[in-house]
Amino acid sequence: MMTHRTPVDLAAATRDVQLRCARASANLDMIAQVKDPIFPDPRQVMLELVLAIHELEAATSILRKAWWP
């Protein structure tokens, strides 16, 4: 069985992955920069982690669709 793939703009996919990785990095950097010995706002930390995970999952999906059948 032969599957047909929709053409993908690899340059646009690369830009999107890079932007999503930058956003994930920014979310994680916010957590890494906390100097308090205990997180003052654990809910905000959780939100930053969830947002970073979301960006990384989206970037992974884009790569999978663009480069692998």
What three-state secondary structure class fits 33?
A: coil
Distance CA 3, CA 30 (A): 43
Q: How many CB atoms lie within 10 A of CB 20?
A: 20
Single-letter residue type at 40: P
Q: pLDDT per residue over 23-32, tens digit each?
A: 999 999 999 9
- Matching residue, tokens 């994930």: 24
Q: CA angle, 68 as apex, 62 and 69 as ends, to 5°? A: 110
| DSSP structural state of residue 5 | P
Domain boundaries, the chain: 10-67
Global pTM? 0.83
More confident residue, 28 or 3: 28
Tokens (6 digits) for 8: 């993908």
